[in-house]
A and B are shown apart, each in its own frame.
Chain A
Amino acid sequence: MTLETFAFLLASGLVLGGLYALMASGLAVVWTTLGVFNFAHGAMIALGAYIAWQVTQYTTGGAGFLLGAGVSVAIMFCLGFAMHYVLVKPFELHANLVLLAVITTLAAASIMENAILLSWGPRDKQIAPPFTGNIEFLGTAIGIHDFVILAIALAALLALALFLRRTTAGRALRAVAQNREAAELMGFNVSRLVAMTIGLSAATAALAGVFVGSLRFISPTVGTDPLMKSLIVVILGGVTRFTSPIYAAFIVGLAEAFSAYFLVLYWAPAVLFAMMIIVLLIKPEGLFGRRTRTL
């Protein structure tokens, strides 16, 4: 392997890692707060991408791309917020909340994907990457767009982490995730905070969707594959800290890029699943996890 190939694989692995980190932390935030896996996360990625694509039809170039991302993130935040009251809250007192949430989020995924199909049709779309041109990276030309995506993804994660750690509102979200009853006794509106958590998760999904949509083509099921990868990331990394799925995301991204080169492309998922099974056998709580789930 030449240095150029290595640099190319490294760059694409890092970009993938940034995307998976965005999606996985969105999943992990909901998982730690509600104890529920959100199967609609993939459909949210797709919907986020389509909304941004629609915006770029009216405004083009870098401004259109950023505006599209902004609009998409805002709309998806509101949708996620509302989803709590429709999909989770009605069953909160039910003994089988987890099972019911599997069904309601799967239903929401299916509804969203079909709504996309009805509104935008079956033909694939692509969000035009606004930042053209290459830069030299270890002797290889890498698209500026890739770097912009990685930078925005990391900035968004940093902003989310700072919000959760430093602001009173973010600390309240973590309080709800760690001890719901104690949070109630502090006078927090727990339902609204949980809804906000799902909203934030949907917003990160939208951002990831915009990026995926500018790297590949968008179809109603564009979120399915990233959803599966982020599930692997969450299981691989554990969810003890906000950062644990992020490290795991970069491991998965790099593993995918390099295994696609050394083996055949179609073997990449198998390699990831093998990694996941080995980690599960040795350290069931994840590479960076402890047994408890927290935020």
Chain B
Amino acid sequence: MSAPLLELRGLSGGYPPVSVFRGVDMTVGNNEAVGLFGPNGHGKTTLLKTVAGLIDPRDGDIFFAGERLNTEGKMRPRTSRHLNYDLFRRRRISAESVVRQGLIYVMQGNLLFPEMTVEEVLDIAPQAARGRGGAAQMRDLVDAVFPRLRERWHSKIRFLSGGERQMVSIAAGLLALPRLLILDEPTLGLSPKLRIELCEAIAKIRAENVPLIVVDQNVEFLTSLVDRLYLFDHGAITREIDGSAMPSHEEVMTMMFGEAH
């Protein structure tokens, strides 16, 4: 088997001094879609923000396409309360270089840029794609998957509905030509109708062979979409479920919380 696209080895992190997740091992193969399921507030977003380079990892490594994204070793603790330690501290990972590598994270509940129009946001989105080909095909895909955006082309983001905003976020992520696209709760807080529309859009994106990590609270949607499912609980991965044996919602609940959930 060739090396995986993304590999997390013993990754730990959080918001210092609070530790949110520890010892996370996770892989995403080339051309694979992986699901992450777990209760609210247990650190999925924190884990993915760390992978995206927004938060420094405390320990462990992130490999993407064979390259290490973080600097080696553990995060050193703050050594002095009095000196401006931040002046000397180097970030252990930078979102800019992670994104340049093609690892694109679509943030949960992303507010994007409230005073910019859809057109302006999608104009600056390909910035991260520098040097990678396929921009024209991706624009066609975005148009095919989110026809609604063309109708709101000149509206400011702050006037869009939650669902439309989510569509712009995902479209912007796609225009960055992702080698791996991370969608963090893309259907959170949407009406049932919009939810279905968005789930279909994500299925279409998957049909174009875009590798994915998807976090969602709906087991049926996740199991229909992904090749593998990770269960995430209290800041650690508790179980990995293979595609051949995708469980139902009830079964997942039993796995996570026992018989009496």
Contact = CB atoms under 8 A, between A and B. Distances in A.
Interface of A: 90-94, 168, 171-172, 174-175, 178-179, 181-190, 292, 294-295
Given A178-B113, A186-B172, A188-B96, 9 more contacts: A90-B86, A94-B84, A175-B124, A179-B112, A182-B113, A185-B107, A186-B125, A186-B128, A188-B127
B52 A179 contact: no
Contact of A182 (B96, B110, B127): B110
B84 A90 contact: yes
Given A94-B86, A171-B120, A185 B113 contact: no
B180 interface: no
B5 to A, nearest CB: 18
A224 B114 CA distance: 34
Interface string B108-141: 0011111110001101110110100000000000
A187 B116 contact: no
Interface string B69-106: 00000000000000010110100000110011000110
Contacts of B99: 184-187
Given A94-B86, A168-B124, A181-B54, A187 B111 contact: no
Interface of B: 52-54, 84, 86-87, 89, 95-96, 99-100, 104-105, 107, 110-116, 120-121, 123-125, 127-128, 130, 172, 176
B116 A178 contact: yes
Nearest to B114: A178
Contacts of B113: 174-175, 178-179, 182-183
Nearest to B112: A182
A186 B127 contact: yes
Contact of A187 (B86, B112, B120, B176): B176
A179 B111 contact: yes
Q: Which of A181, A183, A184, A186: most chain B Cβ within 10 A?
A: A186
A187 B110 contact: no
A169 to B, nearest CB: 9
A185 B87 contact: no
A92 B86 contact: yes
A226 B74 CA distance: 51
Nearest to B120: A171
Contact of B176 (A93, A184, A186): A186
Nearest to A241: B115
Contacts of B54: 181, 184-185
A93 B105 CA distance: 23
Nearest to B85: A93
A136 B84 CA distance: 61
Contacts of A178: 113-116
A186 B128 CA distance: 6
B127 A90 contact: no
A245 B123 CA distance: 27
A75 B107 CA distance: 39
A34 B123 CA distance: 23
A181 B107 CA distance: 9
B102 to A, nearest CB: 10
B172 A294 contact: no
A91 B86 contact: yes
Contact of A185 (B105, B114, B121, B130): B105
Contacts of B176: 186-187
A175 B89 CA distance: 26
A131 B206 CA distance: 66
A233 B166 CA distance: 37
A293 to B, nearest CB: 10
A85 B200 CA distance: 46
A121 B172 CA distance: 55
A294 B115 contact: yes
Contacts of B87: 90
Nearest to A175: B113
A91 B125 CA distance: 29
B84 A172 contact: no
Contacts of A183: 113
A189 B121 CA distance: 16
A295 B115 contact: yes
13 contacts: A168-B123, A168-B124, A179-B112, A181-B107, A186-B125, A186-B127, A186-B128, A187-B99, A187-B176, A188-B127, A190-B96, A292-B114, A295-B115
A92 B120 CA distance: 28
Contacts of B100: 187
A94 B78 CA distance: 13
A295 B113 CA distance: 10
Contacts of A294: 114-115
Contacts of B105: 185
A182 B107 contact: yes
Contacts of A185: 52, 54, 95, 99, 104-105, 107
Nearest to A174: B116
A91 B86 CA distance: 7
* A-B interface, 8 closest residue pairs, ranked by CB to CB distance from nearest: A187-B128, A187-B99, A93-B86, A178-B113, A184-B95, A294-B115, A90-B87, A171-B124
